[in-house]
Amino acid sequence: MPTEHTAPEQQLLPGVRYRPETRQRLVPHTVDGKTRLVEEDYEAMVPVPPRDWDQAVTRAVTAAAALLVAVAVVWSVASIGDLLARAVVAPIAYLAATAFALAWVTCMALEWLARYDAARATGPRKAGNWALAVDMAVVATHGYVEEALYVGLAGAAVSAVAKKMWSTVMRHQARPLPARTAAWLQGEEAEIAARLALGAQKRHLARLEGQANVYAPTAPAALPQDTDQDTAGQLSPTVLSAVRAVLATLPGVSHDDVLAHLDQLGLDYDEEAVRAVLDTEDSRPGPGPTPIAPPGQTVTDSVRTALTSGLRDKDTVVSYVHKIHGTGVPRSSVVRILNRELAA
């Protein structure tokens, strides 16, 4: 037979207001002598915190300031739009009128975002004051043109009151940071901004390098024909061909990188002889041969390299492969490999 297990009742404190809330809990339930934990709903009495009147007043004041700003924007647009409509059609006039009001409203938003950095907030504050002065002057001018200067002055005062009210609210909610904390925060922000900028510039340089490799490849300097015979004689034709291939595909590569490539190819070589050949090549640059693929690099490897460099256009990839492997590689083969790699 099923056996029910009941949880102890909740103890309520006197003088505290509670509200019911439905919750879930695991309780043991036994059927035919086998007990399992099952979930059941139960009603708990949750204490109701006292009303936060400070937060309520802050929200009310913020809403009132936002309402004043909205009223000022509407009045400025209506007044300035009517003034500009004397020279242009009404839709264009009222659209242009929004620029006067939105200028100082945008500056207030920027000032709020920079509330933890007094130096950065100074610029938006000054710009907002200048934009507000221009807005008020144009609104007053509209009243003068309509032969109701007092109306224009009152309309300009609406914008001034809204701006002052919102600035007061921002100043009340701002929490100035200690000097050392502000300096620490500025350092953290500068470090993160530098990382973002460096990453963006590296991506930009990578794109430029990929385009340069395709459209303007650098011709490596050829090994001079009058290289010292004793030095060149210490290297086998295979090693010399491998060195020439590395220089052809990786312009500007360092001597250590060339040696690393030779090690990856598993070639036996005399390090001093290779460095001597590379030193001679660096000191006597000249026009190089057509780039060729290094030993072991297939067309598929070249297509993957192009994709890694950010190249996606078929003609660009085909041109890149032809520069590495020569024009004897059929275009159809390159396109087929490209489609396969993109699908993968």
Tens of pLDDT, residues 176-215: 778 888 788 888 888 888 888 888 888 888 777 777 766 6
Q: Which residue has the tokens 């190819």?
A: 265
Which contacts of 70-74 are long-range, i.e. CB under 8 A and separated by 24 or more positions?
Answer: 71/158, 71/162, 72/101, 72/158, 72/159, 72/161, 72/162, 72/163, 73/98, 73/101, 73/102, 73/105
**Contact in structure between 68 and 166 (CB atoms under 8 Å):** yes
Give the three-class secondary structure for 60.
helix
Q: How far apart are CA 16 and CA 47, in angstroms?
A: 7
- How confident is the model at residue 67, as a pLDDT? 92
- How confident is the model at residue 251, as a pLDDT? 58
Q: What is the pTM of this model?
A: 0.47
Q: Which residue has the tokens 């032809």?
A: 322
Positive or negative torsion for Cα 107, 109, 110, 114: positive
Q: Is 27 left (phi over 0), alpha (psi -120 to 50) or beta?
A: beta
Tens of pLDDT, residues 320-334: 777 777 777 777 778
- How confident is the model at residue 301, as a pLDDT? 79
Cross-strand pairs, 25 = 40
**Contact in structure between 152 and 136 (CB atoms under 8 Å):** no
Q: How many residues does the chain have?
A: 344
Q: Would you kindly state where each structural domain of the chain is located, as residue ranges?
A: 63-173, 204-219+291-344, 229-283
Whether the predicted pLDDT of 261 surpasses 80: no
**Contact in structure between 36 and 29 (CB atoms under 8 Å):** yes
Q: Which of 50-54, 273-277, 287-291 has the highest mean pLDDT?
A: 50-54
Tens of pLDDT, residues 63-85: 998 899 999 999 999 999 999 99
Q: How far apart are CA 303 and CA 317, in angstroms?
A: 7
Output the average pLDDT for the chain. 78
Whether the predicted pLDDT of 15 surpasses 60: yes
- How confident is the model at residue 289, as a pLDDT? 42
